[in-house]
Amino acid sequence: MFELPEFVTLARQFNDTLTGKRIAKGSLDPSPGKFVWFNRTPREFASLTQGKVVGKSSARGKWLITDVIPGYVLVLGECGGRVVFHPPKAPMPKKIHLKITFDDGSFLTATTQMWGAMELYVKGQEQEREYIRDMRPTPTDPEFTFEYFSNLIADVVQGPKRSVKGLLTQDQLIPGLGNAIAQDIMFKARLHPRHPVEDLDKAQKRRLYRSITGTVKEVVRQGGRYDERDLFDRPGGYVRLMDKNAVGRPCPDCGTKVQKIQYLGGACYFCSSCQT
């Protein structure tokens, strides 16, 4: 599934490649299954997009928001899979949930893996959507300072007990992070996934903060993770340190064998000697 760096990468590529293109035809899969969230019928989507022009795109958390001018925005969120630009006459992927053909014959397709939103709103109304409304600052926002992060932790410890993995991946406390990038963030911060948030000392908080912002920045710089694809169907350049390929191999820092546990709805990969 895409996480913040993949959405930032897609937004940049949308801006470079799609901005200014006029929509000839927009279509939605008439039978997408219940895990693809549409807010329009295929007929509405086609009539509302026809003749409109693609404007600017931006990413917030796990959401990509694209102006469809005049008056609308296309929202792709909480998804994974493929969001791909195709030149004119390129072969059509087998299974697609959304297709937008431009008047120069090029087209955009989106196919989500598992679940995801593909929605069209009157501009501004997307801000009222669940998960976008009241979204906290994300690690690429200027408001995501160490002071903000310390205050977030102070709030979190007032609630139910949380671990570092819970802080990183649950309840959109830090929007845009997911189970994949969280593994490397915890490794670089030298924190065990189960480490209680309430026990973090000042130095650990600072390390965790630096690891969150530094890792996100690095994955963005490399165009996303190697196991996800960009707008041109190319894999990202960021190879994770801690993922399924690392299990049983020596930790890059100390040589201890990397372990795997199932914890909080997903696998964790970590070094039991570096991460405490």
Residues that bind Zn ion (CB under 5 A): 251, 253-254, 256, 271, 273-274
Residue 7 vs 270, nearer CB to Zn ion = 270
Closer residue to Zn ion, CB minimum distance, 102 or 269: 269
Cβ contacts of 104-111, under 8 Å, gap ≥ 24: 104/21, 106/21, 108/18, 108/83, 108/84, 109/82, 109/83, 109/84, 110/76, 110/79, 110/81, 110/82, 110/83, 110/84, 111/81, 111/82
For residues 151 and 276, which CB has a smaller minimum distance to Zn ion in the complex?
A: 276
Least distance CB 186 / Zn ion (angstroms)? 12
* Shortest CB 274 distance to Zn ion, Å: 3
Distance CA 117, CA 76 (A): 5
Q: How far is the CB of 247 from Zn ion (least distance, A)?
A: 14
* Closest distance of CB 266 from Zn ion, Å: 21
- State the Cα–Cα distance between residues 194 and 263, nearest whole angstrom: 8
When the beta carbons of 152 and 274 are compared against Zn ion, the nearer one is: 274
User: H or E element: which one contains 48?
Assistant: helix 42-49
